[in-house]
Structure 1
């Protein structure tokens, strides 16, 4: 990709993605249906030019590689400037009357690189409801390549940027992802294409209706799913095997948390992930920023504890805060030890909480208790690199404490 292409994408998405996530999206359901990697065909209903930007923002949050491609009418490639922008943003030209070999080759490249192909089965923008008749291109591509088809219903996009409008308007957008469509793989390809088309229409009718009619219960469920996805994103970032830049994972997690809190402001797990992100930013910040974030972290962690005194991550963060903060700013190692002990009890057998508790015991002078915890960490299994590193640190710390408390190390008076 050329430098100018990167500039076009960067300038566009720097505006569109935050606007979609923080201004227009009122709810997103079914994110567990979107895999983090691997190719598939995404089939949304189509009611606005802004549909592209909504899907781009969501794929950026939910996929390891944010790049996706979409079929669009050949007329979009006539004007040189528009052709350049559409191509760089992932547009693939299609002659709706006579699709040719070039189109098939382009689609094959999309799947080969493990990307998402967005195809609007209505073929053109409709009113939002009812759905227009479907074309079968998306399903022929999927059947030919053997990739999943995932339907997604959207509502409200037609109010943000109605057909013929040039400036977005303030309106709420809701998105509902459906499960990958299942049809009999033994069917001949033409019948499989027809079955996929029928299943997609049935799914989209239901998904759009769901997006049009939100409920508080579904919002709470979707909020929890978003919070869980945000927490998993943080864990992936900290795994030490993640090929994605940490800054990208932080952005993904923060945006997922923002959506989760919008759908359920009282979601404790979303509040805990937000506090955890604050702690991670604090660790990497300069001194003035660290002092500012230190106060913010305490407020956020305390809010989690107030909502749920037994919250695992809330106790861990609160304990860490009291343990590490200077006394003049409110740090109290003894108070932190209580939170870390509770986290170790709740979080067993995860050794990160045992390690934090052991460090708290050392800081408060209970070396014998710390050695007991460290022995448990050393004896625990290590299923991943991060846990193995923690075991190594625990072993080194245990060896040091053992040496410090051996009879030979006792000074002679």
Structure 2
């Protein structure tokens, strides 16, 4: 593993030297080794099971074991605010790290569980395609002028066929802390399908694995479930603004886009 400091980290964290830097590199190497072993063992089982209903409990167990091995406490608050299992919904969560999916999988219930909605942006997605497919992951087309309607249709189809969805309304993340501008796809889908949106906030993932950085750090991870919203069919703007304000309060991060929506 290359333990050279990431350029972006220099602007947000003081550079560690001497024993502290060595300890950080050793922990990072241990973390990646543990991840590789968990991925090999549990990932093989998930792909073999093929069906999301069977594979999600296995994935949750693997993720919880990983965080236990890494000494990272997990805490989830407000799970009782989630709709009943029979009511399909979209869970909106802030996006701050590549670790978000693992953390959410570890802390959210596996039955009936959630399918993640992700964008087709990283080559690693093609490598992990069998694993993502077994978990029911919905892969959207890259953002472009003509992709919004098609992606909204994909989300709607997945909601009908695969059940509850986790959507990152920012559609990506950057090294700087803060909640980015929301995209409208999840809100349009929820309004058309007549299903609720649930707002949640994830804390700690950015500190554990910073964007464009590959040296994990030990930190606690917290998920808090917030309010449930029902977007209006005529105008989704109020729902987007309400969801954004709720997520800002849950994450404690600054607003990078104000009230400007997309």
Unpaired segments ≥5 residues, structure 2: 1-45, 254-262
Residue 196 of structure 1 corresponds to 239
Query: Does the 8 Å CA contact 2:81/2:227 hold for their aligned counterparts?
Result: yes
Q: What is the Cα-based RMSD across aligned positions, in Å?
A: 3.2
Deviations 1:283-336 (A, max 9, x none): xxxxxxxxxxxxxxxxxxxxxxxxxxxxxxxxxxxxxxxxxxxxxxxxxxxxxx
1:5 match: 50
Which string of whole-angstrom CA distances, capped at 9 and with x for unpartnered residues, describes residues 325-360 of structure 1?
Answer: xxxxxxxxxxxxxxxxxxxxxxxxxxxxxxxxxxxx
Equivalent residue, structure 2, for 1:209: 252
TM-score normalised by L of structure 2? 0.65
Q: How does 1:114-153 map to 2 (within 5 A)?
A: 115-127=163-175, 129-153=177-201
Matches within 5 A, 1:90-169: 90-95=136-141, 96-97=143-144, 98-99=146-147, 103-113=151-161, 115-127=163-175, 129-166=177-214, 168-169=216-217
CA distance in 1, matches of 2:55, 2:122: 17
**Aligned partners of 1:76 and 1:83 also within 8 Å:** no
CA distance in 2, matches of 1:125, 1:90: 22
SS at the partner of 2:206?
helix
Structure 1 counterpart SS, 2:228: coil
Alignment length (residue pairs):
202
Corresponding residue to 1:170 among 210, 218, 229: 218
Q: Counterpart of 2:97?
A: 48
Counterpart-to-counterpart distance in 2, 1:8 and 1:182: 30
1:128, distance to aligned residue in structure 2 (A):
6.8
Task: Spell out the pairing of 1:40-79 with structure 2 (5 A cutoff).
Answer: 40-60=89-109, 64-66=111-113, 68-76=114-122
| Other-structure match for 2:63 | 16
TM-score after normalising by structure 1: 0.43
SS at match of 1:124: coil
Tell me the residue number matched to 2:3: none
Offset at 1:10?
7.6
Structure having the larger proportion of residues in helix: 1
SS at match of 2:244: helix
1:216-258: CA deviation from partner (whole Å, max 9, x where unpaired): xxxxxxxxxxxxxxxxxxxxxxxxxxxxxxxxxxxxxxxxxxx
Deviation of the 1:204 alpha carbon: 0.5
* Match of residue 229 from structure 2: 181
Which one has the largest radius of gyration? 1
Q: CA deviation at 1:116?
A: 1.5
CA displacement at 1:76 relative to structure 2:
3.6
Q: CA deviation at 1:46?
A: 0.6
Contact 1:51–1:157 (8 Å) recurs in 2: yes
Q: Quick one: distance in 2 between partners of 1:40 and 1:111?
A: 8
Query: Shift of residue 120 of structure 1?
Result: 0.9
1:39 to 88, 100, 107: 88
Greater fraction strand = 2
Distance 1:134 1:108, change over 3 A: closer
Q: Secondary structure at the match of 1:64?
A: coil
Query: CA separation in 1, counterparts of 2:229 and 2:176?
Result: 22
1:108 Cα offset (Å)? 3.0
State whether structure 2 residue 75 is matched by structure 1 residue 30.
no
- Secondary structure of the 1:54 match is helix
